[in-house]
Amino acid sequence: MAKLVYSAITSLDGYVADERGNFDWAAPDEEVHRFVNAEERPIGTYLYGRRMYETMVYWDRALEQPDQPEFVRDYAQIWQSAGKIVYSSTLQTVSSARTRIERSFDPEAIRKLKATSAQDLSVGGPHIAAEAIRAGLVDEYRQLVAPVIVGGGNRWLPDGVRVDLELVDERRFDNGVVHLRYRRDS
């Protein structure tokens, strides 16, 4: 059975974007980017809300830009080769290959997808991830903590939910970013 992974780059105080919606402080350097590439390579399907999809669809065109470093080109290829499901009641069309729209998040459909997928799944964006967390669907939490406090904004985890976790990996990068990987206790 495939795992559902929730990964995010967050501030030390737990935000994926600040109060103005900015996340420029989260841009990975080459070392972190290469690590993320290795973490994302086994993902077969990305589950996104509309806003996260609109942010990530950049990777569908990233290879068209000249002089991209190899590690950026590698991530673009990883992203393009995976399937994508966008949960949105307003988005009418998608602009990337291997992408479909679902009008509502259905936990039972995700359970079936996990049971039948040969590759792991990733949920991206704190709002759709909150639905998956509340439904008990997320198997792993992968947090890259950036060395910044932003003081407010869009939190990476929802309030009002308790999940017991086991720390299974940690890593510190030269730029001060720390990676934490937790598995849900069985």
Cα-based torsion angle of the residue sequence 146, 3, 155, 41 in order, rounded to the nearest 10 degrees: 40
- Beta bridge pairs of residue 45: 83, 121
**Residue showing tokens 């993320």:** 36
pLDDT above 80 (res 35): yes
Distance CA 24, CA 103 (A): 30
Does residue 22 carry a pLDDT above 90? yes
Residue length of the chain: 186
**Is 186 a residue whose pLDDT tops 90?**
no
Between the alpha carbon of residue 31 and those of residues 17, 68, 78, 146, 170, the distances in Å are 22, 15, 17, 13, 15
Give residue 67's Cα distance to chain centre: 26
Distances (CA, A) of 160 to 27, 121, 134: 29, 24, 9
How confident is the model at residue 135, as a pLDDT?
98
pLDDT the model gives residue 10 = 98
DSSP state of 174: T
- Per-chain mean pLDDT for the chain: 96
pLDDT, tens only, 150-176: 999 999 999 999 999 999 999 999 999
Q: Hey, which residues does 48 pair with through a beta bridge?
A: 86, 124
pLDDT tens-digit map of 62-114 = 989 889 999 999 999 999 999 999 999 999 999 999 999 999 999 999 999 99
Mean pLDDT of 31-57: 97
| Model pTM above 0.85 | yes
Q: What pLDDT shows up at residue 65?
A: 87
Q: What percent of the chain has pLDDT over 70?
A: 99
